[in-house]
């Protein structure tokens, strides 16, 4: 199976190398930015003129504008769900979302029986083609060309939460990771899987963690301070500055707290897992840890600064400084978004739960807020979030592995429900999105609730 994927990547790369100029079109999340950066940089190195554009979605308007450019277009981290609209274009697609059909110039893990939700990201798929944009030095080594860009494939996968189900990367992502480890690009560390180990004081790392939500710790600064005082550990130093013994004490106490509160073993298991360290980046910065790097990138394009994210991936220091400022704003927006949901509450239907943020949460981040909220509420139903956008109403849905095991497929359910109310959508089984006309939210929810009821019934 992997050999077939490598072979198709090689064929697509050969077609791209025939082009004098290429337009890269990519998505505006961490996976999209890293995908675009990989394509952009590899084309430059192949001495092909390249331009790049970032889009929220690939709708009719966006496709028409691309057609007007009259250039060979490389779609990264999108395109597979809209391939029927691209018939008048010369293009290549490296995507991992559920495709509506196959195509000779499309590389998508789903076409080969892999799960694009966890086994290969958009950045990883793009890297497979980028790694062949120059002749291989050895027929026994698939990834020699543009090997340094492999770290961006790891960041993209983590940014797309592809390591969240098993607390590690699996599938073809794993193959890419192993290559990165062998070449001293990435180090795999078994550690606490909390955000901020490189940059946050320990007390803040504990306070702001929400995966899993730890009773009495998450969101409780004083309790976090008391815990660290009890363990005789300085709360204001960073995790990377603590000793192995100090880390062991903290993790042990967190596990005890979870057990005492009767937390499900599956959630406790999520405390510790694989973390990915980028060895050529400066320790103590957001770019050192794949999880923090991906969040930094999300904080750029989500606020219309995608070019900053691109330049961060390409190693520009000034862009990194700008991205850090955007990250501070991103944290404030997420915090206010979470407070809003606490105020308005989450409503429940038989098979789904939902909230409507109206204009209070940007449509570009409402899905992130929904994912965080899901960790704090009913785990037996997927969550659906609405927010107004310039195209209508943005829908973002999130689920968990337990629901997937019961037969849930959000990508399929969201797509069908959106189309029935005059919108469009798609995505992954565990995370999907759509845009629907304003005023159609209730009808959408009724249809979606019925579809998910049928999925879960069949799954049982």
Sequence ranges of the domains in the chain: 2-159, 192-327, 345-459
- Going by C-alpha positions, the residue among 389, 388, 200 that lies closest to residue 286 is 200
Give the confidence band of 105 by pLDDT, cuts at 50, 70, 90: very high
CA angle 81, 451, 211 (to 5 degrees): 75
pLDDT of residue 60: 86
pLDDT of residue 234 exceeding 80, the answer is: yes
Over residues 63-85, the mean pLDDT reads: 94
For the whole model, what pTM was predicted?
0.87
Give the confidence band of 141 by pLDDT, cuts at 50, 70, 90: very low
pLDDT of residue 140 exceeding 50, the answer is: no
pLDDT of residue 460: 52
pLDDT of residue 437: 96
pLDDT of residue 223 exceeding 60, the answer is: yes
pLDDT of residue 265 exceeding 60, the answer is: yes
Q: In CATH, what is the architecture of 345-459?
A: Roll (3.10)
CA distance 210 to 337: 14
Mean predicted lDDT score pLDDT of the chain: 93
- Going by C-alpha positions, the residue among 39, 118, 119, 21 that lies closest to residue 77 is 39
What is the SS3 assignment for the chain?
CHHHHHHHHHHHHHHHCCCCEEEEEECCCHHHHHHHHHHHHHHHHCCCEEEEEECCCCCHHHHHHHHHHCCEEEEECCCCCCHHHCCCCCEEEECCCCCCCCCCCEECHHHHCCCCCCCCCHHHHHHHHHCCCCCCCCCCCCCCCCHHHHHHHHHHHHHCCCCCCCCCCCCHHHHHHHHHHHCCCEEEEEEECCCCCCCCEHHHHHHHCCCCCCCCCCCCHHHHHHHHHHCCCCCCCEHHHCCHHHHHHHHHHHHHHHHHCCCCHHHHHCCEEEEEEECCCCCCCCCCEHHHHHHHHHHHHCCCCHHHHHHHHCCCHHHHHHHHHHHHHHHHHHHHHHHHHHHHCCEECCCCEEEECCCCCCCCCHHHHHHHHHCCCCCCCCEEEEEEECCEEEEEEECCHHHHHCCCCHHHHHHHHHHHCCCEEEECCCEEEEEECCCCHHHHHHHHHHHHHHHHHHHC
Over residues 443-457, the mean pLDDT reads: 95
- Going by C-alpha positions, the residue among 118, 186, 146, 117 that lies closest to residue 9 is 146
Over residues 408-419, the mean pLDDT reads: 95
pLDDT tens readout for residues 295-318? 999 999 888 899 999 999 999 999
Instruction: State the fold for domain 2-159.
Output: inorganic pyrophosphatase (n-terminal core) (3.90.1640)
Same fold, 2-159 and 345-459: no
- Is 251 buried (19+), middle (13-18) or exposed (0-12) by CB count in 10 A? middle
Give the confidence band of 17 by pLDDT, cuts at 50, 70, 90: very high
Over residues 371-388, the mean pLDDT reads: 92
Compute the Cα dihedral for 374, 429, 193, 253 and give only its sign.
positive
Over residues 37-55, the mean pLDDT reads: 96
Give the confidence band of 139 by pLDDT, cuts at 50, 70, 90: very low
Contact 25, 53 (CB under 8 A): yes
Report the DSSP pairing between strands 272-278 and 186-192.
Answer: antiparallel
- Going by C-alpha positions, the residue among 408, 390, 407 that lies closest to residue 398 is 408
User: Of 112-116, 139-143, 177-181, 301-305, where does mean pLDDT reach its minimum?
Assistant: 139-143
Report the DSSP pairing between strands 392-398 and 431-436.
Answer: antiparallel
pLDDT of residue 137 exceeding 80, the answer is: no
pLDDT of residue 50: 97
Give me 213's structure tokens. 């939500």
pLDDT of residue 274 exceeding 50, the answer is: yes
pLDDT of residue 459: 53
Q: Other CB atoms closer than 10 Å to residue 238's CB: what's the count?
A: 18
User: Of 32-41, 259-268, 342-351, 359-368, where does mean pLDDT reach its minimum?
Assistant: 259-268
pLDDT of residue 210: 82
Contacts for 77 with CB less than 8 Å, ≥ 6 apart? 26, 27, 29, 31, 32, 35, 36, 94, 95, 96, 97, 121, 122, 123, 126, 156
Give the confidence band of 144 by pLDDT, cuts at 50, 70, 90: low
pLDDT of residue 57: 85
Contact 186, 279 (CB under 8 A): yes
Size (the chain), residues? 460
């Amino acid at each position: 199976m992997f050999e077939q994927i490598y072979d198709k990547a090689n064929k697509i790369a050969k077609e791209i190398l025939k082009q004098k100029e290429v337009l890269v079109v990519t998505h505006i999340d961490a996976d999209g930015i890293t995908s675009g950066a990989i394509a952009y940089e590899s084309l430059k190195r192949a001495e092909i003129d390249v331009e790049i554009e970032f889009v929220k979605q690939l709708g009719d308007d966006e496709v028409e504008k691309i057609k007007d450019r009259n250039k060979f277009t490389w779609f990264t981290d999108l395109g597979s769900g809209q391939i029927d609209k691209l018939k008048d274009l010369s293009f290549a697609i490296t995507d991992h979302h559920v495709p509506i059909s196959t195509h000779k110039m499309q590389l998508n893990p789903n076409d080969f029986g892999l799960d694009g939700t966890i086994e290969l990201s958009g950045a990883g798929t793009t890297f497979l083609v980028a790694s062949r944009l120059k002749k291989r030095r050895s027929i026994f080594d698939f990834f020699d060309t543009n090997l340094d860009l492999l770290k961006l494939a790891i960041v993209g996968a983590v940014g797309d939460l592809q390591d969240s189900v098993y607390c590690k990367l699996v599938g073809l992502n794993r193959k890419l990771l192993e290559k990165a480890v062998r070449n001293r690009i990435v180090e795999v560390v078994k550690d606490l899987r909390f955000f901020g180990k490189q940059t946050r004081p320990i007390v803040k790392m504990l306070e702001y963690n929400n995966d899993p939500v730890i009773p009495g710790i998450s969101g409780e600064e004083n309790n976090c301070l008391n815990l660290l005082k009890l363990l005789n550990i300085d709360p204001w130093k960073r995790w990377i500055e603590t000793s192995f013994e100090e880390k062991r004490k903290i993790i042990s106490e967190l596990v005890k707290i979870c057990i005492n509160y009767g937390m499900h073993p599956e959630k406790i298991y999520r405390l510790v897992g694989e973390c990915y360290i980028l060895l050529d980046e400066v320790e103590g910065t957001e770019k050192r840890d794949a999880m923090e790097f991906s969040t930094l990138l999300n904080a750029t394009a989500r606020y219309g600064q995608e070019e900053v994210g691109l330049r961060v991936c390409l190693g520009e220091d000034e862009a990194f400084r700008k991205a850090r400022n955007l990250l501070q704003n991103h944290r404030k927006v997420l915090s206010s978004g979470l407070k809003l949901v606490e105020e308005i509450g989450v409503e429940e239907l038989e098979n789904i739960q939902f909230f409507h943020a109206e204009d209070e949460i940007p449509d570009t981040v409402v899905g992130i807020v929904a994912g965080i909220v899901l960790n704090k509420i009913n785990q037996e139903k997927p969550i659906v979030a609405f927010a107004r956008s310039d195209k209508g109403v943005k829908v973002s849905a999130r689920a968990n592995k337990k629901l997937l095991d019961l037969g849930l497929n959000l990508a399929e359910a969201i797509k069908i429900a959106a189309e029935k109310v005059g919108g469009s959508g798609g995505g992954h089984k565990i995370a999907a999105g759509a845009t629907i006309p304003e005023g159609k939210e209730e009808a959408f929810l009724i249809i979606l609730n019925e579809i998910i009821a049928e999925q879960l019934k069949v799954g049982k």
